[in-house]
Amino acid sequence: PLVTSKELFKQAYEKGYAIGAFNVNNMEIIQGIVSAAKEEKSPLILQVSAGARKYANPIYLKKLVESAVEDTDLPIVLHLDHGEDFEICKQCIDDGFTSVMIDASHLPFEENIALTKKVVDYAHPRGVVVEAELGKLAGIEDNISVDAKDATYTNPEEAREFVEKTGVDSLAIAIGTSHGAYKFKGKPELDFERLKKISKLLPGFPLVLHGASTVLSEYVEACNKFGGDIPGAQGVPEEMIKEAAKHGVCKVNIDTDLRLAMTSAIRKHLHDNPSNFDPRKYLGEGRKAVENMVKHKIGNVLGSSDQI
């Protein structure tokens, strides 16, 4: 069924695992993710960004997710990723999403609170949960200085005040991750001291990690071997994701690893089969690669297998 993440996060928090939140943009990506979750008997968050709504048309995405629920009967959360204003959150809530993110992290603290509370006050009476963000995902400057970290990473005391004043159900925090394939110039590093402080001040409260792709080297190498050009790509080591799940992180956002898995498979297929021009062949290979990557994440990193 379509579910909210409330109960899923509660169990994940208690058992120390995290739930993958995978971005969806087309049928094959959804099918790959969902078959992996089905096989791993794992709860699942399918998330739709504004970019995905523009690319695929919201109606198609909603119907594809409904098909996944009908086909597998998995507990699936349909989540709006990075909602940029009240309007889009309202639209998705009215459209049957079970969870929305209002990303007001670029606003001053008080304005972030006000806008987040406005979304919470609309969502909760309709049985929908809300994710907000406090702090700014790292840029890709080299290991940034301590005071720069304090200026951009999530402040633990502010996090507690934010949650109390907004009633939000989960909080995306900034501890050194960033979106995309180029997360670290030097050695990958997350601010675990900060994470521990935040989770200590917010016991039992679900935290969210954005920019949590590993940028798996096997896919980067395959992309580059078959015509791609993705130099120096680096992500979050899987050990760090496991560690974060032990300190209150219940939702782990993964999009770049999906893209790399799909792209590497398609590049390889097109390279190895120059005479083929049937999209079902290379899109099918892409789907299979997505399925295998998500199975790996669920089974070996997130720990959410056999939880349904």
Ligand X SMILES: O=C(COP(=O)(O)O)N(O)CCCOP(=O)(O)O
**Residue 188: C-alpha distances to residues 60, 118, 157, 197, 255 (Å):** 37, 36, 26, 20, 18
Closest distance to Zn ion from the beta carbon of 178 (Å): 9
Closest distance to ligand X from the beta carbon of 83 (Å): 11
Work out whether 81 is an interface residue with ligand X (CB under 6 A): yes
Closest distance to ligand X from the beta carbon of 39 (Å): 22
Q: Which is nearer to Zn ion, 210 or 267 (CB)?
A: 210
Work out whether 92 is an interface residue with ligand X (CB under 6 A): no
Q: Which is nearer to Zn ion, 20 or 283 (CB)?
A: 20
Place of tokens 């089905």: 38
Binding mask 160-199 for Zn ion (x = CB under 5 A): ----------------------------------------
Neighbours of 218 (CB within 10 A): 11
135, 211, 248, 286: residue in contact with ligand X (rule CB under 6 A): 211
**Contacts by 150-159 with C-beta closer than 8 Å and gap 24+?**
153/191, 153/194, 154/194, 154/198, 156/194, 156/197, 156/198, 156/200, 156/201, 157/201, 158/109, 158/134, 159/134, 159/198, 159/201, 159/202
Q: Which is nearer to ligand X, 144 or 201 (CB)?
A: 144
> Under a CB-based contact definition with an 8 Å cutoff, are residues 75 and 1 in contact?
yes
Work out whether 210 is an interface residue with Zn ion (CB under 5 A): yes
4, 98, 155, 213: residue in contact with ligand X (rule CB under 6 A): 213
Work out whether 244 is an interface residue with ligand X (CB under 6 A): no
Q: Which 43-62 positions form the footprint of ligand X (CB under 6 A)?
A: 49, 51-52
Work out whether 259 is an interface residue with Zn ion (CB under 5 A): no
The four Cα atoms 66, 71, 75, 79 give a dihedral, to 10 degrees, of: -30
d(CA 170, CA 15) in angstroms, rounded, equals 17
Q: Is 272 an active-site residue?
A: no
Work out whether 255 is an interface residue with ligand X (CB under 6 A): yes
46 contact choice in Zn ion, ligand X, none (CB below 5 to 8 Å, kind-dependent): none
Pairing, β 99-102 against β 207-209: unpaired
Tokens of 66: 């409904």
Total of chain residues touching Zn ion, rule CB under 5 A: 1
Work out whether 291 is an interface residue with ligand X (CB under 6 A): no
Q: Which of 167, 228, 170 is nearest to 199 (CA)?
A: 170
Total of chain residues touching ligand X, rule CB under 6 A: 16
d(CA 236, CA 130) in angstroms, rounded, equals 25
- Positions that interact with Zn ion (CB under 5 A): 210
- Positions that interact with ligand X (CB under 6 A): 23, 49, 51-52, 81-82, 179-180, 210-213, 253-256
- The residues that are catalytic are 81
